[in-house]
């Protein structure tokens, strides 16, 4: 490249043909390098959102453990039974995510034929999910919105408020590296155990008091690709 630039600066004796060849070489170098740099940027975004999801999962685990402990001077938020942000109780779902097979149908975990995975931020499926840190923290005011409050009982527990309580003031809400990204979640109720019935070829449930809820956190940019699933027992 240095040789090329020197030739461009000292082109007294250069013909028009030589200049054209030099320009063509520079254009080739540029078009070859661009995809490589783009790939590096995409990989960085993927790694960042995966790290963010892991961090949110750890926050959920801390929240659950605090709620599971009995109330005390050291743990005034204890409730004696674990639950997740936005849940009234551990055995209540958020919206329509009542059973684990919801993940198979929507997140395409098993890649079943005929599924319609939740692949984009403006998918209608998003209306059933909750915002982790509140829509005011979404990267852009796009033509979509995820619910901020859970809809069970008397709405005394607001998910995004409880999530944000675990963030430091300096850190602030965790944001997606994607332009259309935003962290969303849903909770599959506890108090049940699911199993696959070989006879009916269906997932069925049975009571299980010791079984906790299941948390699904995703990047709204592409939920079926970027998500985590955590079981709490």
pLDDT in tens, 3-25: 555 555 555 555 666 656 666 66
- For 97, the 3-state DSSP assignment is coil
Euclidean distance between CA atoms 91 and 83, whole angstroms: 8
The predicted structure's pLDDT at residue 61: 93
The dihedral of CA 134, 142, 216, 100: what is its sign? Answer: positive
- Maximum C-alpha span of the chain: 88
Under the banding of pLDDT at 50, 70 and 90, the label for residue 63 is very high
User: Which of 36-40, 85-89, 123-127, 213-217 is the least confident region?
Assistant: 36-40
Q: Of the spans 19-28, 50-59, 117-126, which averages the highest pLDDT?
A: 50-59
Closest by CA to 83, choosing from 175, 145, 152, 129, is 152
Euclidean distance between CA atoms 32 and 90, whole angstroms: 54
Q: Which residues of 18-49 are buried (b: 16+ CB within 10 A; e: fewer)?
A: eeeebeeeeeeeeeeeeeeeeeeeeeebbebb
Contacts of 224 (CB under 8 A, 6+ apart): 106, 107, 108, 117, 118, 119, 218
pLDDT reading at 149 higher than 60: no
pLDDT reading at 220 higher than 50: yes
Per domain, the residue ranges of the chain are 55-231
List alpha helices for the chain, DSSP H: 2-9, 16-68, 101-102, 159-164
The gap from C-alpha 192 to its chain's centroid, in whole angstroms, comes to 25
Phi, psi (rounded to 5 degrees) for 159: -55, -55
The predicted structure's pLDDT at residue 50: 96
Q: Which two tokens stand for residue 60?
A: 């959920």
Q: Is the separation of the CB atoms in 126 and 118 below 8 Å?
A: yes
pLDDT tens digits for range 171-215: 788 999 998 888 999 888 888 777 778 888 777 778 888 788 989
pLDDT reading at 145 higher than 50: yes
Closest by CA to 133, choosing from 54, 226, 56, 46, is 56
The predicted structure's pLDDT at residue 121: 85
Range 100-125 average pLDDT:
69
Q: Is the separation of the CB atoms in 173 and 133 below 8 Å?
A: yes
The predicted structure's pLDDT at residue 22: 65
List alpha helices for 69-220, DSSP H: 101-102, 159-164
Q: Which two tokens stand for residue 216?
A: 């699904």
């Amino acid at each position: 490249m240095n040789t090329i630039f020197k030739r461009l600066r000292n082109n007294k004796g250069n013909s028009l043909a030589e200049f054209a060849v030099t320009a063509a070489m520079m254009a080739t170098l540029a078009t070859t390098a661009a995809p490589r740099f783009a790939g590096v940027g995409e990989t960085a975004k993927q790694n960042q959102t995966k790290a963010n999801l892991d961090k949110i999962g750890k926050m959920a685990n801390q929240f659950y453990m605090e709620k599971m402990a009995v109330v005390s001077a050291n743990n005034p938020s204890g409730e004696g039974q674990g639950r997740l942000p936005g849940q009234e109780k551990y055995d209540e779902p958020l919206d329509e995510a009542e059973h684990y097979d919801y993940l198979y149908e929507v997140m395409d975990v098993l890649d079943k034929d005929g599924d319609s995975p939740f692949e984009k931020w403006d998918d209608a499926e998003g209306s059933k999910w909750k915002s982790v840190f509140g829509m005011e923290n979404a990267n852009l005011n796009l033509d979509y919105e995820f619910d901020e409050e859970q809809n069970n009982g008397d709405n005394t527990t607001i998910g995004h408020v409880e999530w944000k309580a675990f963030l430091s003031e300096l850190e602030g809400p965790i944001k997606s590296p994607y332009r259309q990204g935003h962290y969303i979640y849903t909770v599959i109720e506890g108090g049940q155990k699911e199993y696959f019935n070989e006879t009916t070829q269906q997932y069925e449930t049975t009571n299980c008091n010791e079984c906790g809820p299941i948390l699904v956190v995703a990047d709204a940019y592409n939920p079926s690709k970027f998500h985590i699933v955590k079981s709490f027992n």
